[in-house]
Amino acid sequence: MKNNIFENGKKLPLMEDFYTIQGEGFHAGKPAYFIRIGGCDIGCSWCDSKASWNIEHNKLIDINEIVEKVNKLPVKAVVVTGGEPCKYNLEPLCNLLKFNNIETYIETSGAYKLTGKWNWICLSPKRNSPPLKELLSIANELKVIIFDELDFKWAEENKKKVNKSCKLFLQPEWSRYEKNIFKIVDYVKINPEWNISLQIHKFMHIP
Ligand code: SF4
């Protein structure tokens, strides 16, 4: 890839970064600084971050510049998301965040090898590009997006492969929330090992 994969992780194609409230999954409701890195070739039809797919639209930013912004705020945890952030070497970014006593959380499809040290790994596997075994074994959280009926089966397939302490979430795909939420509620009542994740930031109208 270009520029030796952006100087081996010292620069990243930043799409956006902002301090907000985590809206999804296990850490929902907690403040977190989001770093959205551009570039994704997974191609989910319902993707709500399609603008992140093409890295040409993103400016390459030095990770020091990103962490400087984080340090100006009372941030306890950073969520690195995408796009698919694992396309890049994330070790330099993780090291820098850890050096500054900031917790590191990642959201990934698991389709690429994970680099860096993470306090929390949220794996959101996609049917058209299944996760690597190593990601399934270390994920702290499995978050499956429910777009259609086949996603329940996909969720169960992945559940069998994650570690025993992994937290399990089903999350309605936003554009089909009304159509699917009651099916998900019924499913979780019958399969209580699952929890429901809602994108509460969207209900709060915050990023
Ligand atoms: Fe969009 Fe994420 Fe799917 Fe990539 S993996 S296409 S960013 S939903």
Ligand 1 atom nearest residue 43's Cα: 6
**Ligand 1 mean position, distance from CA 65 (Å):** 25
Q: How far apart are CA 89 and CA 84, in angstroms?
A: 12
| Ligand 1 mutation target, pool 87, 126, 151, most atoms within 8 A of CB | 126
User: With a threshold of 0.85, does the pTM exceed it?
Assistant: yes
128-181 confidence digits (pLDDT tens): 999 999 999 999 999 999 999 999 999 999 999 999 999 999 999 999 999 999
Q: How far apart are CA 99 and CA 145, in angstroms?
A: 33
152-163 confidence digits (pLDDT tens): 999 999 999 999
**Ligand 1 mean position, distance from CA 48 (Å):** 8
SS3 string of 13-81?
EEEEEEEEECCCCCCCCCEEEEEEECCCCCCCCCCCCHHHCCHHHCEEEEHHHHHHHHHCCCCCEEEEE
**Ligand 1 mean position, distance from CA 162 (Å):** 21
5 backbone dihedrals φ, ψ, rounded to 5° = 45, 55
| Ligand 1 mutation target, pool 37, 42, 45, most atoms within 8 A of CB | 42
Segment 23-30 mean pLDDT: 98
Nearest to 115 by CA among 139, 96, 142, 87: 87
**Ligand 1 mean position, distance from CA 55 (Å):** 13
- Closest C-alpha to ligand 1, atom 7: 83
- Closest C-alpha to ligand 1, atom 2: 83
**Ligand 1 mean position, distance from CA 105 (Å):** 17
Residue 7 confidence (pLDDT): 87
Q: Is the pLDDT of residue 115 over 80?
A: yes
Q: Which residues have CB under 6 Å of ligand 1? A: 40, 42-44, 47, 49, 52, 82-84, 109, 126
**Ligand 1 mean position, distance from CA 134 (Å):** 20
Q: Is the pLDDT of residue 41 over 90?
A: yes
Q: With contact defined as beta carbons under 8 Å apart, do 201 and 21 qualify? A: yes
Q: Is the pLDDT of residue 1 over 70?
A: no
